[in-house]
Amino acid sequence: MRAIIFLAIVGVVFGNQCKGVDKGDIKAAHSAARLGALVIFGNSCPGFDFDSVALSGACRSLVKQATCYGIKAASHYDSDVVSYGQLASDVSNMEEIGNLACSDAPKCFRQVKSAIQACSDANESFLDQTIAAAEAVYKRDFESQAKDFASGNQGSLLGDIATMAMNKFSSADDIRTFIEEQLTEGRKSDASAAAKQAGILAQGWCDSGCTSTTARFLEGIFGHMNGGGCNDASVFCGECQSRAASYFARNQLPCCVEKVVRKGIEAYDYVIANYSDDLEAYGAAVGSGLSASALAEAKAIKDRVVEEFGCVSAVYSENRPECA
């Protein structure tokens, strides 16, 4: 599996995500991860040490700060309706994590990769044994919950999809076989090219300091949009669209963001042009297994997504920046 490679930004001062976070919560999160690593790798790689891989060296700061951000975010967004004001007040935290990822992610990735490679070198059955352990954990701790969710939500979109997935994928071998059937040479080539382009794009993002540039823009637009009839961040059409348009009239979208948007549009167009038949076939297969109520729910979600995307697209199209 390829990782997105980030290059360091020189001279960035990182904030402390762990300020105000209970140390007990941090220890609990790391203890849970440590136990998970022991259960998954205990047989396939007895020498795997979670602390030395994730909590020291090149990964220490990134993992610690990401853990603290996750704990703080869970509390910050613990509300029925998330407002644009909540998003605006969290931008600086996301900026700090983003800049830290730019600085530390490559080194941390190499550290983790080295540890996993050592496991693989020491045990030719490492992959199979690790997958078997993960499957055993799922069946022991989570399968009953998944079945309860599926049976308790019959007729809903998520409930029907959960039932279909459990019926089709009853073991790790089922999942592996399905993936292998989908990985034609053409798809492998496209995936490889996409990963390479994503790495180049991420490198350019970090090198240009786009994390902080984007943060300032988002703080401004989220703060401007918040209030009046725009009180739900899951809704853009209407008052929120009007507020966003008025902000764009005076503030240009950063060109480094525009570059990412254009690449995303190009990727979308490529997928539609080359994989539309496959997508339609998958959609038909899923649709045939859904109940009438689940299909109605899916259609309602699709209609809303299309409507909201149309509103976002309209504001973007009318305010595209002039970039070199």
Backbone φ, ψ for residue 79 (5° rounding): -150, 155
Query: ∠ at Cα 120 (101, 125), nearest 5°?
Result: 135
Whether the CB-CB separation of 103 and 58 falls below 8 Å is answered with no
Question: CA dist 68 to 61, 63, 73, 222, 285, Å?
Answer: 11, 9, 8, 23, 41
Q: What is the pLDDT of residue 183?
A: 85
Look at the block and give the residue holding tokens 């509300």.
Answer: 79
d(CA 63, CA 102): 13
Whether the CB-CB separation of 232 and 308 falls below 8 Å is answered with no
Per-residue pLDDT of the chain (324 residues; tens, 9 = 90+): 333 322 222 223 344 788 889 999 999 999 999 999 999 999 999 999 999 999 999 999 999 999 999 999 999 999 999 999 999 999 999 999 999 999 999 999 999 999 999 999 999 999 999 999 999 999 999 999 999 999 999 999 999 999 999 999 989 899 889 888 888 899 999 999 999 999 999 999 999 999 999 999 999 999 999 988 999 999 999 999 999 999 999 999 999 999 999 999 999 999 999 999 999 998 899 999 999 999 999 999 999 999 999 999 999 999 999 897
Length of the chain: 324
Q: What is the pLDDT of residue 300?
A: 96
**Domain residue limits, the chain:** 1-123
Question: CA dist 172 to 72, 175, 280, Å?
Answer: 34, 5, 26
Q: What is the pLDDT of residue 7?
A: 28
